């Protein structure tokens, strides 16, 4: 059995910077046609100069791979209309982080509501700049996404022309919310399609599966799978692949993040094939994102075959999901 995926896109990707960027960028660029690059570096990407500089470093790191980094800005409530108008030429979206809610988000927004952010969100609406949101409250860890859904509703209602992407959704309630507002969309990760909290902490703690938002209940995973498997037109693949060195994962104060970029397409093929919906994978990993973001990525065809593939133990100093395990599909060639 064989499948050809055309122009696969990863619409939520962390490449980091420095030496880590040199490891991660080629791994994504090898198999993906493009990716939406997250801006939560240290310091965060908040200026056009920083966007262009980071983009240049990414392009240098990918070598000869055909790959387009779709750049983002780290949301600030001080952005002016004039700044955003100029920034639009250099970015695909703006990413909003609640302050301190995840990795390198200390400079995020402390108060998220339609009144406090009105000026920036109205400008983004007029300029047609999508808003990507890490949607979690500061409540009990299992309830953070559900508690944030009312914020999504307020923003969607008050700014109906603003395209809002609920990033890495993990709950059935978030899936259901897609049907309520025309301007709400979502990304779903590989790891949230595979695991629940039981896989992370039900037995011995598995630090390389620890992520934020945290994996939820079986019924939530079922809802995510239903949306992805049916190629729901408002849902697209975003890996949220988040590399950390072993010293940060296998330690006190384990860093949140699952590294999936180099094995994402293989694992998705395995999952979709077992659900007998392999024909819908193209929409989930490319076509829906093209439609939602109006993208024309570089042409790339990834040929995968149903043959066993053993995942590498490490990529540099980063341990991937399924390290040393076997996946039922492998990449045969990239055209």
Q: Helix or strand or coil: residue 44?
A: coil
pLDDT in tens, 83-123: 999 999 999 999 999 998 888 888 899 889 999 999 999 99
240 tagged catalytic: yes
Question: CA 91, CA 87: separation in Å to the nearest integer?
Answer: 6
Q: Which residue in the list 7, 10, 240, 287 is annotated as catalytic? A: 240
- Strand duo 309-310 + 164-166: pairing: unpaired
Indicate the length of the chain as a whole number: 335
2-334 maps to which CATH number?
Answer: 3.20.20.140
Residue spans of the domains in the chain: they are 2-334
Contacts for 51 with CB less than 8 Å, ≥ 6 apart = 39, 45, 71, 73, 87, 90, 91
Q: Write out the chain's pLDDT in tens, 335 residues.
A: 999 999 999 999 999 999 999 999 999 999 999 999 999 999 999 999 999 999 999 999 999 999 999 999 999 999 999 999 999 999 999 999 999 888 888 889 988 999 999 999 999 999 999 999 999 999 999 999 999 999 999 999 999 999 999 999 999 999 999 999 999 999 999 999 999 999 999 999 999 999 999 999 999 999 999 999 999 999 999 999 999 999 999 999 999 999 999 999 999 999 999 999 999 999 999 999 999 999 999 999 999 999 999 999 999 999 999 999 999 999 999 99
The torsion angle over the Cα atoms of residues 14, 19, 22 and 25, rounded to 10 degrees, is 0
Question: CA 85, CA 122: separation in Å to the nearest integer?
Answer: 12
Q: Where are the beta strands (DSSP E) in 134-241?
A: 164-166, 184-188, 235-237
- Strand duo 301-305 + 2-6: pairing: antiparallel
Q: Are 70 and 37 in contact (CB under 8 A)?
A: yes
Mean of per-residue pLDDT scores for the chain: 97
Q: What are phi and psi of 310, to 5 degrees?
A: -95, 120
Burial pattern 24-63, b for ≥16 Cβ within 10 A else e, equals bbbbbbbbbbbbbbbbbbeebbbbbebbeebbebbeebbe
């Amino acid at each position: 059995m064989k499948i050809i995926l055309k122009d696969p896109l990863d619409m939520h990707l962390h490449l980091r910077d420095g030496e880590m960027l040199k490891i991660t960028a080629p791994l994504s660029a090898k198999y993906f046609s493009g990716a939406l690059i997250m801006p939560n570096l240290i310091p965060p990407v908040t200026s056009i100069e920083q966007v262009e500089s980071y983009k240049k470093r990414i392009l240098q790191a990918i070598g000869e791979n055909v790959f387009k980094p779709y750049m983002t800005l780290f949301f600030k409530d001080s952005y002016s209309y004039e700044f955003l108008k100029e920034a639009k030429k250099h970015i695909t979206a703006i990413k909003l982080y609640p302050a301190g809610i995840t990795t390198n988000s200390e400079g995020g927004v402390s108060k998220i509501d339609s009144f406090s952010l009105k000026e920036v969100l109205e400008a983004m609406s007029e300029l047609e700049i999508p808003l990507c949101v890490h949607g979690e409250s500061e409540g009990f860890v299992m309830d953070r996404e559900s508690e944030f859904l009312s914020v999504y509703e307020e923003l969607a209602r008050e700014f109906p022309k603003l395209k809002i992407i609920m990033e890495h959704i993990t709950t059935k309630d978030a899936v259901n919310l897609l049907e309520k507002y025309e301007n709400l969309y979502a990304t779903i990760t590989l790891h949230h399609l595979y695991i629940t909290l039981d896989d992370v902490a039900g037995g011995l703690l598995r630090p390389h599966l620890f992520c934020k938002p945290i994996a939820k209940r079986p019924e939530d995973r079922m809802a995510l799978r239903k949306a992805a498997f049916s190629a729901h037109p408002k849902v697209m693949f975003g890996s949220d692949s988040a590399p950390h060195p072993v010293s940060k994962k296998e330690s006190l104060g384990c860093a949140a993040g699952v590294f999936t970029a180099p094995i994402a397409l293989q694992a998705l093929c395995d999952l979709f094939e077992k659900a007998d919906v392999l024909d819908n994978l193209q929409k989930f990993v490319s076509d829906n994102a093209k439609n939602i973001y109006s993208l024309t990525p570089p042409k790339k065809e990834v040929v995968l075959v149903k043959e066993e593939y053993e995942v590498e133990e490490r990529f540099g100093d980063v341990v991937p999901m399924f390290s040393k395990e076997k996946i039922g599909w492998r990449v045969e060639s990239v055209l």
